[in-house]
Amino acid sequence: MRTILKAENLKKVYRVGRVDVHALRGVSLEVQEGEFLAIMGPSGCGKSTMLHLLGGLLTPTEGRIIIDDEDLTAASDAKRTDIRRRKIGFVFQRFNLFPTLTAEGNLRLAERIHDDGGDDPERRREVLRLLRLEDKMHHKPTELSGGEQQRVALARAVVTHPAIVLADEPTGNLDTENSAIVLNMFQELNYRFNQTIIMITHNPEAAAMCRRIVQMRDGLIVEPPGGVQM
């Protein structure tokens, strides 16, 4: 298997007034291509900071991140933005859909940003079918339920074939039924398309659907260092 992401000794320190807050204290992690990985831990342990660092949304105070053989931490701001655009799909608790665009329109915009004007209607339809949204293609976010909006957000994250999908509590605002639909779709994307997925979750049932679970506490990955294989 090929290592698609490598984080080495990541540290992140926030300055709050005169106090240094150590969100990450030296985290190292390797993720193989095609893994479905859960990162778990109590609130405030550094999970979301970790995910934002891996996605290039934050810059570490110390350490290095390699994504698909590209050094994210050594890159300029413009290069880091380009790596995010080409290699990473994000799914957050808040759906962040464009309210004036339909479900298909949100996917098409993602394609255009990713490929500088790319347009693949068949790929869009395939992803929407996979996520059981084929009858919602022309609906705007206000015409969709919360679960349907989250599935559109997931479709938008994967329609461009990113090397890695990063998901921050993607079921945190969903009921049991919609959570199951979203998690089943993550699992199907992973198995059918070998999609690499890193998911932050508090939910043990969600984590149980992943192939590996990494536990964090107090800004560190706790034993075992490689995580629990499922």
Q: Which domains does the chain have, with CATH numbers?
A: 3-229 (3.40.50.300)
pLDDT bucket at 227, cuts 50 / 70 / 90: low
Structure confidence at residue 72 (pLDDT): 94
Structure confidence at residue 93 (pLDDT): 80
Structure confidence at residue 149 (pLDDT): 92
- H or E stretch at 37: strand 36-40
Cα(94)–Cα(161) distance, integer angstroms:
21
pLDDT tens for each residue of 164-193? 999 999 988 888 888 888 898 899 889 888
- Region 12-27: mean pLDDT is 94
pLDDT bucket at 128, cuts 50 / 70 / 90: confident
Structure confidence at residue 21 (pLDDT): 92
Residue 109 CB-half CA count within 13 A:
13
Residue 116 has pLDDT above 60, yes or no: no
- Region 68-84: mean pLDDT is 92
Structure confidence at residue 39 (pLDDT): 96
Residue 226 has pLDDT above 90, yes or no: no
Structure confidence at residue 112 (pLDDT): 85
Residue 229 has pLDDT above 80, yes or no: no
- Region 64-71: mean pLDDT is 94
Structure confidence at residue 179 (pLDDT): 86
Q: What is the pTM of this model?
A: 0.90
Which two three-digit tokens encode residue 164?
């890695």
Residue 30 has pLDDT above 70, yes or no: yes
Cβ partners under 8 Å of residue 186, min gap 6: 36, 154, 167, 170, 197, 199, 209
Name the residue with tokens 């807050």. 21
